[in-house]
């Protein structure tokens, strides 16, 4: 296990941990620049982008698994109705998450995207409390309370609920929960999800967006290639993350994950010039405080478990 590697002091374990950190940084770094990538597809409708992303992901993720000789694993999963049902539910959630994500980027709401993925770990903690009946530590309870207050204050002072951030956080938290209780690997699970979505995506493109199959629909060849490349930018970070997850503890993965929304935030403010209002800054500050509390608490308990 990754945590066992990290706990041992052997040179081989140290090398594995170092490789895991590199893979995790690469994965979350790629996820962090996804808004910049999807900016290349300005003018292409979000529903069309998501439909093509599903189709092209089928090609690239399927090719990766085929090269690994894992097609029998896929067939085995498809023969298990319970697993297929769970993965269909997770597929619907990730498709909705992708659609909101792409739409928000097109509407210059990258700050809301960033906020959503900062909130996500706290929503996951809340799900653990409600669904799994897990007990919150006092620090976790305080962090969830701060995050809830931050959303309420943003709603009051900004004149509206930050529905983009909440939708992204909730959909991804539920997605993570379903994948947690579904005993399949990351890449295999994603491939099943996209092949379950593929008939809907293909039907949508053929019957509702056939113009997206013509070069005339795009602003140039580069945009066509960028749309095809959505399959690659879906598959590659997942593959990198899978390698990292095998080598690192969940605590370390949890700390590294904040790279992605941090990059979203920096791009939104310093590259695309999205206005950072005082209400937004206050919300982010409170969420950052909550995450710092949770991270320090997790790190402390992890060190205690290793010492014990």
pLDDT in tens, 44-54: 999 999 999 99
* pLDDT, position 128: 83
More confident site: 154 or 2: 154
Poorest-pLDDT segment among 26-35, 103-112, 241-250: 241-250
Cβ neighbours of residue 19 under 8 Å, at least 6 residues apart? Answer: 243, 247
Q: Could you report the per-residue pLDDT of 177-205, keeping only the tens digit for each?
A: 898 889 998 889 999 999 999 999 999 99
236 vs 153: CA distance, rounded Å: 38
Q: Kindly provide the b/e burial profile for residues 59-93, where b requires at least 16 CB atoms within 10 angstroms of the residue's own CB.
A: ebbbebbeeeebeebbeebeeeeebbebbebbbbb
């Amino acid at each position: 296990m990754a945590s066992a590697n990290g706990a041992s002091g052997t040179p081989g374990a140290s090398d594995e941990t170092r490789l895991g950190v590199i893979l995790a940084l690469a994965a979350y770094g790629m996820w962090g620049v996804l808004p910049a990538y999807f900016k290349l597809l300005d003018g292409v409708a979000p529903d069309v982008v998501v439909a093509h992303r599903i189709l092209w992901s089928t090609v690239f993720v399927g090719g990766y698994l085929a090269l690994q000789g894992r097609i029998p694993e896929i067939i085995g999963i498809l023969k298990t109705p319970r697993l297929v049902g769970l993965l269909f539910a997770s597929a619907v959630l990730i498709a909705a998450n992708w659609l909101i994500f792409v739409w928000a980027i097109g509407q210059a709401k990258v700050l809301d995207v960033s906020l959503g993925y900062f909130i996500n770990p706290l929503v996951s903690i809340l799900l653990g409390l409600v669904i799994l009946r897990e007990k919150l530590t006092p620090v976790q309870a305080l962090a969830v309370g701060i995050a809830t207050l931050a959303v309420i204050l943003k709603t009051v002072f900004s004149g509206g609920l930050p529905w983009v951030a909440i939708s992204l956080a909730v959909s991804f938290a539920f997605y993570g929960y379903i994948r947690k209780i579904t005993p399949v690997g990351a890449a295999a699970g994603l491939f099943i999800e996209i092949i379950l979505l593929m008939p809907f995506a293909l039907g949508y493109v053929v019957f509702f967006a056939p113009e997206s199959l013509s070069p005339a629909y795009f602003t140039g060849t580069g945009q066509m290639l960028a749309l095809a490349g959505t399959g690659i930018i879906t598959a590659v970070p997942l593959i990198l993350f899978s390698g990292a997850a095998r080598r690192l503890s969940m605590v370390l993965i949890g700390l590294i994950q904040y790279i992605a929304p941090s990059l979203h935030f920096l791009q939104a403010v310093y590259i695309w010039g999205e206005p950072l209002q005082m209400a937004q800054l206050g919300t982010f500050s409170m969420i950052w405080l909550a995450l710092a509390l949770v991270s320090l608490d997790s790190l402390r308990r992890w060190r205690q478990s290793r010492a014990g």
